[in-house]
Amino acid sequence: MIKPFKLGYAEFNCLDAEKMENYYSDVMGMTVTDKTRDTVYISSGTDHHTVVLKHSNESSLDIIGYQIEQNVELNDVVKILVAEGIRAEVKSDARPGVHQLVELQDPDGFTLQLFHEIETPAPGYKENGISPFKLGHIAIGSMNAKKSTDFYMNVLNFSYTDTIGTRATFLTCNTDHHVLNVSSFGHKMMHHIAFELKDTSHHVRSADILAKNEMPIVWGPSRHTAGHNMATYHHDPELNLIELYIDMDQYIKPLGHFDPRPWHEELPLKPRVWEDNCAWYTKYETTILDAVLKKTELQPI
């Protein structure tokens, strides 16, 4: 069985990788660990990289890396995928910090890389900038949300945790409420990428840092329903939507419910369908989605 347990990294095609590098280094407070002629590797803590920025003539999410349990050799992972009709191959030294990985594509065409180990050369958390704890989850827009959800649940063994109406399904590969959010947009895109912060004071500090860098919060603060994370959202220099959050629900799979919290609507709280994703304060505005969709209008510099 293929069993991811951690969202390892996200790799982006960038129109201006230098500007994005400055954002992740100076604003987000993450550490550059390696550079090649056209690629920058950046870490949030100890892993060799959490975010990768690649010079390109487009701006888009390109690769998602998941760390998987070592109960299955990578060659056997390929056999499992091929048996499901999915093209996959083992690659050696395909990227710094990861000696071997399996590469495949999900139903929407996002490249996935599955790996057992990643080097840990990064010095830890920086004092300057936001300095998030970890890369928590990615939300994608899908051409066929049911097909994508079935792939992640049946092939990669993610667990279902919640649904927002008919438009968004939340999946996890560990105890976090969601590691992946699949939405019915009818086309391939990244809706947002999310980083976990420490607590409310860290959230306030992050807002001050964004303000000093003239990067407005476009949604939040708000407590969600699905996941109950308290979140704010802003845009990076290439209009990728960035979520900063705390208080993510923790899913106890053997019990089939979430670890109880005082703000839960019912106890014990089990996976369910929610009408909206706002428990309090600001609601999601269509103008924010419009801003995300404007990424398709970006032109090469």
146: tokens are 């049911």
The band of 301, judged by pLDDT with boundaries at 50, 70 and 90, is very low
pLDDT in tens, 77-109: 999 999 999 999 999 999 999 999 999 999 999
Across the chain, which distance is largest between two alpha carbons, in Å?
Answer: 53
Domain 134-295 has CATH 3.10.180.10: yes
pLDDT in tens, 20-50: 999 999 999 999 999 999 999 999 999 999 9
**Rounded to two decimals, what is the model's pTM?**
0.94
CATH 3.10.180.10 domain locations along the chain: 4-115, 134-295
Spatial contact of 42 and 31, defined as CB atoms under 8 Å apart: yes
pLDDT of residue 187: 86
- According to DSSP, the residues that pair with 104 across neighbouring strands are 88, 112
The CATH fold assigned to 4-115 is 2,3-Dihydroxybiphenyl 1,2-Dioxygenase; domain 1 (3.10.180)
Q: What phi, psi does 227 have (nearest 5°)?
A: 95, -25
Spatial contact of 169 and 163, defined as CB atoms under 8 Å apart: yes
